[in-house]
Amino acid sequence: MGQNIPKSSVNIIPKPLYSKVDPGHFIIDEKTKIEYSKSVKNEKRIAEFLSESIKYLVQINIPVDQYKGTQRGDRIIFEITKSDTLGGEGYQLLINPNYVKIIANSGRGLFYGVQSFLQLIPPEDVNENDIEKIIIPCLEIKDRPEYKYRGMHLDVSRHFFPKEFIKKYIDLLAMYKMNIFHWHLTDDNGWRIEIKKYPLLTKISAWHVDRENQPWNDWSTIQPGEKATYGGFYTQEDIKEIVKYAQDRYITIIPEIEMPGHSSEVFAAYPQYSCTGDTLNVCPGGYWPNVDIFCAGNDSTVTFLENILSEVCDLFPGPYIHIGGDEADKTNWKKCAKCQARIKKEGLKNEEELQSYFIRRIEKFLISKHKKMIGWDEILEGGLAPEAAVMSWRGVDGGIKAAKMGHDVIMTPTSNCYFDYYQANPEFEPEAGGGFITLEKVYSFDPTPPGLTSEEAKYILGAQANLWTEYVKTPEHAEYMILPRMLALAEDVWTPKAEKDWNDFLYRVNQHYKRFDAMKLNYSRGYFGIDFSTSYDNKLNRFQLSFNTEQLNPVIHYTLKGSDLDSTSLIYAKPFFIDSTSTIKAGIFENNKLVRDITQETIHFHKGLGKKIIYINSPSNKYSGMGNSTLLDGIFGSDNFADRKWQGFEGDDFDVIIDMGTPVSITSVSMDFLQNVNSWIFMPNDAQFSISSDGIQYKPYIAQNDISEKPGKPIIKEFKASFNPTPVRFIHIKAHNIGVCPPWHQGAGDKAWIFCDEIVIH
């Protein structure tokens, strides 16, 4: 928890490069006017945007007029300058009691100055009736962004979102000076863009049968004659309207048209462009492995895609077109006579080089249309297209590799930038993707990874966050997943790393929660939750227990021994100790009322607590729990593998050695394993517990698995070895991974996961 509350009243996000608060205030009332100079394109439109925004927020009408050169007060003035320090997107904001000046080199800079000015309107005045004046503090701001690519992504294939929400999404991006909207328009679950030349893409490929009442990865078979009623698409007129709307807010839209994989919905309408020629149904849920793929050996397939991209290029005036390129299963390419003939004719080594050949052909076409191609980092495989930009999502390694090759890079790793992942305790959150990314995790992100020279680092254009929507069905839920995490990302890409401060950000973001409330935005309140962390004292046989939260100096009440929690319960002031198994309840209170759900945890005592653990195989970085102490911290995981209490091992056996320090008499060793077949997580074949007093001679005990691999709800199983009292110093535990998902599974052949939690020693 942060302890030092900043005193600044400049609650702007992202944090400006320089700000200074001066004495006095500027008052917005019916006398105020906005004046522009017509020195740059759209200057009048920006002035009107400011007026409209003030009217929307506080119901005060501010007239807009061209600057006449007269000197008087009560004015908000736009001024165009030529400043090397401001660059193309920077601005200066000067507020004194008589006037406001927004100064920039360009309309874009003016617009960002407007956004900062709007954030100075007190949130308690937003949407209040009968407001006659607004008081703005006098200050000076000089500001410019650190990165030129500041993006947010939205997947509209899994669930279609109406045009009105797309505009609202763009407004949210604009509020926080984001300048790229990556619009994921096509994927296996629906084609969302009208293509005049191929009308069946919207007549057929945009719709699937309704399975919304079923689990995403466990939908029932589509029946013959069953109508496809769920979906939708944007007409070309819709898209032109949205593009103009974004342009007015200095946001570039990057459309994504998936290829060669994630394209099975196309084959519901145009099966001739696949390798098999089979007419498919549009998938109503999870689809894996992604074997249905555009045929790279068929020239008519390339012509089909070029015709589509030609219309796409005409609709989107920005410089970039995203072609996907990710997760393309090449099984059908290996079987396809045309694809194999293409490999032979072009002298390619394998199917990876065939993908590169395919992508290069598409890039050549896009270059002819004066567009630059972007792809997910899989486009590096088999050789990167000459001028392609890379979006690095599988960690940062792909981005580093591309930057070293002299290619532009956008960083969007799953570790920090996947907003479909849980953001707070899954027990209280709506269903989400498997990962766990908190507000602080997003804020800690540095788009430029270490290991690059200053010259190579120039190729890191910036970063974006991705909102995939498998579990996000409504606009309200989409808002919930991006707010407030988008504010942290906005600061990552705007504010220099040296100027960022977590406690200061927390203070400012709490002020923005008030604005969200006034604007009736559906933001996550998961940041009012509490995480427990434990540190075991071996000498005194007790736990030090800490409460952690992403709030500044909250009032936390708690109870021990499972008793009821209310505003009269103990107040948390600092870490405290417990020396026996205890059930703790805790919650944040404001005005003596519980803000959110009660967090409850049972801390279990056993002989293994705090002992040294040696990993023969390390857990995945993505699922490492709370670090090496996870398996011996006295806390058990829930049936949600993303709760940060489990450790996951992909394809590897679980293999650890526990060193008790000195021989200790014990009678049993046990640990929990989780099975969630829909997430590629299986029980181990068996768990072997081997005990030793000297680390040389071990006695093994085997616990066999008796849980079926069939799909169903998550299952937790205890594997246990019991024996007569025995002096033991070393315990070697090995659980055998099944290796790969079985043939009947949708991920057949993919690496299987083992998830494990608390090792209990008695």
Q: Do residues 392 and 399 lie in contact, with contact meaning Cβ atoms separated by under 8 Å?
A: yes
DSSP 547-573: EE-SSBS-EEEEESTT----TTSEEP-
pLDDT at 18 over 90: yes
Longest dimension (CA), the chain: 96
**Percentage of the chain surpassing pLDDT 70?**
98
Average pLDDT, the chain: 94
pLDDT at 332 over 60: yes
Angle at 44 between CA 43 and CA 48, to 5 degrees: 120
| pTM for this predicted structure | 0.93
Tell me which residues are annotated as active site: 187, 262, 327
pLDDT (tens digit per residue) in 434-489: 889 999 999 999 999 999 999 999 999 999 999 999 999 999 999 999 999 999 99
**Quick one: pLDDT band at residue 622, thresholds 50, 70, 90?**
confident
* Bridge pairing between strands 99-104 and 75-80: parallel
Please name which of 124, 134, 153, 132 lies closest in space to residue 50, comparing C-alpha atoms.
134
Read off the pLDDT of each residue in 170-184 and give the average, rounded to a whole number.
Answer: 98
Q: Domain containing 113 — which CATH number?
A: 3.30.379.10
Distance of alpha carbon 3 from alpha carbon 590, whole angstroms: 17
What was the pLDDT predicted at 240? Answer: 98
Distance of alpha carbon 295 from alpha carbon 259, whole angstroms: 10
Residue 342 and residue 428 in one domain: yes
Residue 378 and residue 323 in one domain: yes
DSSP reduced 3-state for 366: helix
**Quick one: pLDDT band at residue 428, thresholds 50, 70, 90?**
confident
pLDDT (tens digit per residue) in 703-751: 999 999 887 889 999 999 999 999 999 999 999 999 999 998 888 889 9
Residue 231 and residue 130 in one domain: no
What was the pLDDT predicted at 8? Answer: 55
Count of domains observed in the chain? 4
Residues in the chain: 762
What was the pLDDT predicted at 526? Answer: 85
Helix axis angle, 107-119 to 43-58, nearest 10°: 10
pLDDT (tens digit per residue) in 260-310: 999 999 999 999 999 999 999 999 999 888 899 999 999 999 999 999 999
* Bridge pairing between strands 186-187 and 190-191: antiparallel
How many helices (H) and strands (E) are present in the chain, helices listed first?
15, 36
Residue 359 and residue 481 in one domain: yes
* Domain membership flag for residue 5: no
What was the pLDDT predicted at 3? Answer: 46
Q: Which residues make Cβ contacts (< 8 Å) with residue 559, sequence separation at least 6?
A: 565, 569, 570, 584, 585, 586
Residue 185 and residue 327 in one domain: yes
Distance of alpha carbon 337 from alpha carbon 297, whole angstroms: 8
Q: Domain containing 405 — which CATH number?
A: 3.20.20.80
Residue 640 and residue 689 in one domain: yes
Read off the pLDDT of each residue in 20-41 and give the average, rounded to a whole number.
Answer: 92
Q: Do residues 463 and 149 lie in contact, with contact meaning Cβ atoms separated by under 8 Å?
A: yes
Q: Which two tokens stand for residue 280?
A: 């498919």
pLDDT at 151 over 70: yes
Residue 197 and residue 278 in one domain: yes
* φ, ψ at 475 (rounded to 5°): -55, -40
What was the pLDDT predicted at 1? Answer: 42
Q: Which residue, chain included where needed, has tokens 């080089």?
A: 353
Q: Domain containing 556 — which CATH number?
A: 2.60.40.10
Residue 207, amino acid: W
pLDDT at 71 over 80: no
What was the pLDDT predicted at 2? Answer: 41
What was the pLDDT predicted at 16? Answer: 97
pLDDT at 70 over 70: no
Last residue of a domain, one of 109, 143, 177: 143
Last residue of a domain, one of 492, 519, 546: 519
* Domain membership flag for residue 10: no
From residue 675, how far is each of 701, 702, 712 by CA, in Å? 22, 19, 9
Domain carrying residue 752: 612-761
Please name which of 366, 418, 370 lies closest in space to residue 392, comparing C-alpha atoms.
418
Last residue of a domain, one of 90, 119, 143: 143
Q: Which residue, chain included where needed, has tokens 């923005």?
A: 512
Residue 496 and residue 482 in one domain: yes
Q: For residue 136, what are the β-bridge partners?
A: 26
Distance of alpha carbon 183 from alpha carbon 157, whole angstroms: 10
Q: Domain containing 735 — which CATH number?
A: 2.60.120.260
Angle at 569 between CA 567 and CA 572, to 5 degrees: 100
* E-only strand ranges, 285-405: 320-324, 372-376, 389-392
Please name which of 720, 751, 571 lies closest in space to residue 650, comparing C-alpha atoms.
751
Read off the pLDDT of each residue in 57-74 and give the average, rounded to a whole number.
Answer: 84
Residue 98 and residue 129 in one domain: yes
Q: Do residues 571 and 592 lie in contact, with contact meaning Cβ atoms separated by under 8 Å?
A: no
Residue 542 and residue 638 in one domain: no
* φ, ψ at 295 (rounded to 5°): -75, 115
Residue 505 and residue 534 in one domain: no
Distance of alpha carbon 623 from alpha carbon 637, whole angstroms: 13
pLDDT (tens digit per residue) in 393-419: 999 999 999 999 999 999 999 999 999
Task: List the end-to-end C-alpha distance of the chain, in Å, as a whole number.
Answer: 35
| Count of C-beta atoms within a 10 Å radius of residue 378 | 21
Q: Do residues 12 and 120 lie in contact, with contact meaning Cβ atoms separated by under 8 Å?
A: yes
* Domain membership flag for residue 9: no
pLDDT at 98 over 70: yes
Residue 283 and residue 304 in one domain: yes
Angle at 556 between CA 554 and CA 559, to 5 degrees: 175
Distance of alpha carbon 170 from alpha carbon 178, whole angstroms: 9
What was the pLDDT predicted at 9? Answer: 60
Q: Do residues 485 and 439 lie in contact, with contact meaning Cβ atoms separated by under 8 Å?
A: yes
Positive/negative CA dihedral, 136, 140, 146, 149: positive
* Domain membership flag for residue 48: yes
232: left (phi over 0), alpha (psi -120 to 50) or beta: left
